[in-house]
Amino acid sequence: MSGTAVVFVHGFLSSADTWGEFVRLVAQDDALTGLHVHTFGYESPLVSLNPLRRIPHIDDIADDLRTYLSQDLADHSRLALVSHSQGGLVVQRALARMLADNPGELDRLRLVLMYACPNAGSDLALPLRRSLLRWHPQEADLRPLRAAVLDAQRVVLRQIVHAPQPTVRVKVYAGASDGVVPPASARSVFPDAGVLPGDHFSIIQPDSHEHRSYVVLRRALLALDDPAPSPEALPDVRDPDTGTPQAAGPAVEPTGDEYAELVRLLLDLPNIHDPSFRQQLYSLLPRPVQEQLPRSPVARLELIGLLSTLWRYRHLDGWQALGAGLTALVPDHPATVALLARLDTLARSV
């Protein structure tokens, strides 16, 4: 794997030392001989007591990572980025900023692998965090439905994951027993997603080459020489009367703020926090949507998964089906009325 560098990016309140087990196992793996291993560290303290220093924002860290890749690792022909938790948000923000400023920065990138990334945020102790850490610039982006997080994610999905000729593999993994970032949040809207044994911290503490967290990384690195897979194609949608091909989806995906507004309206519906009520609503959706819906005990996270799945299968008239279900289950409720107006706009853009 000469010329290939893997860069590990840690998470919130952590450091580069968190990758010690991965670094040790890679060094002992004969199949990865020649792979250059690097850990990218950044400041993520709980508090900063030095009046002359501030805790960096994720945007600052993302730009620092860009500089690190372009300058410190300039001699490497191929790059792989591996992240944990908040580190995945840092990586996505860096990718989005590269695409906006200089897409050529991505020419060497071949793999992005994220462990337990809060792609849809974390609800853990949210009221307490809002109270005690409201000033912390990094914690703010860990909350659910942050517009900046969703906007960067949308850019990565559209221009990297679903690119016409993808050159970068993006893989995400959740911890099966993770109570900090539940699987519904970690997997979110990414198509190449899986679940690994462990919680938020043990998922990145492999103790052998057979540990599944290490196996998925090893396989992803060894596959760098293979052609990147094509994105999942949408079915050929045709007008039932004329047979004329129809557009498969809206030209512009809803923004982070629009998604947040849809979730807020859904949460205003009576009984929406009752899992049996949500299941009744889902039963009225197209079957492929039902089969792909992520489940979560947290209504907010499950509804984020609902909206992202409806977007992915927008060619099946999922927006209209959701509107019909709401009309049947909660007619005339103010939140239903507002939602129907928004869903009608989305449906007409398909």
Q: Is residue 243 part of a domain?
A: no
pLDDT, tens digit (0-9, with 9 covering 90-100), for 263-293? 999 999 999 998 889 988 998 888 878 877 8
Domain that holds residue 334: 256-348
**Least confidently predicted of 17-26, 34-43, 184-193, 244-253:** 244-253
Rounded to whole angstroms, the Cα distance separating 25 from 48 reads 34
* Judgement on whether residues 264 and 221 belong to the same structural domain of the protein: no
Same domain, 161 and 33: yes
* pLDDT at position 227: 58
Give domain status of residue 247, yes or no: no
Same domain? 78 vs 200: yes
Amino acid at 133: L
220 pLDDT higher than 50: yes
The predicted-structure confidence for 245-260, as pLDDT tens digits, reads as follows: 444 444 467 777 888 8
Q: pLDDT per residue over 295-327, tens digit each?
A: 787 888 888 888 888 887 777 788 888 888 888
| Residue that terminates a domain, selected from 225, 246, 276 | 225
Residues 6+ apart with CB under 8 A from 319: 310, 343, 346, 347, 350
The enclosing domain of 168 has a CATH number of: 3.40.50.1820
Q: What average pLDDT score do residues 207-219 get?
A: 97
Question: pLDDT at position 312, please?
Answer: 75
In a domain, 123, yes or no: yes
Q: Which of 86-100, 157-171, 201-215 has the lowest mean pLDDT?
A: 157-171
Residues 209 and 261 in one domain: no
Residues 58 and 166 in one domain: yes
Look at residue 301 and tell me if it is in a domain: yes
- Give the pLDDT confidence score for residue 266 in this predicted structure: 93
Query: Domain check: are 169 and 58 in the same one?
Result: yes
- Rg (alpha carbons) of the chain, rounded to whole number: 21
Asked if residue 251 belongs to a domain, the reply is: no
* Statement to judge: residues 305 and 192 lie in one domain: no
Give 291-295's long-range contacts (Cβ < 8 A, gap of 24+). 294/183, 294/184, 294/187, 295/184
pLDDT category of residue 348 using cuts at 50, 70 and 90? low
> Same domain, yes or no, for 151 and 265?
no
49 and 172 housed in the same domain: yes
**Distance set, CA 273 to CA 189, 299, 303, 322, 330 (Å):** 22, 6, 10, 17, 14
Please check whether residues 203 and 273 belong to one and the same domain.
Answer: no
| Number of structural domains the chain divides into | 2
The reply to whether the predicted model has a pTM over 0.85 is no
Residues 113 and 212 in one domain: yes
The share of the chain scoring above pLDDT 70, in percent, equals 91
| Cβ neighbourhood burial of 133 (10 Å; 0-12, 13-18, 19+) | middle
Together in a domain, 221 and 332: no
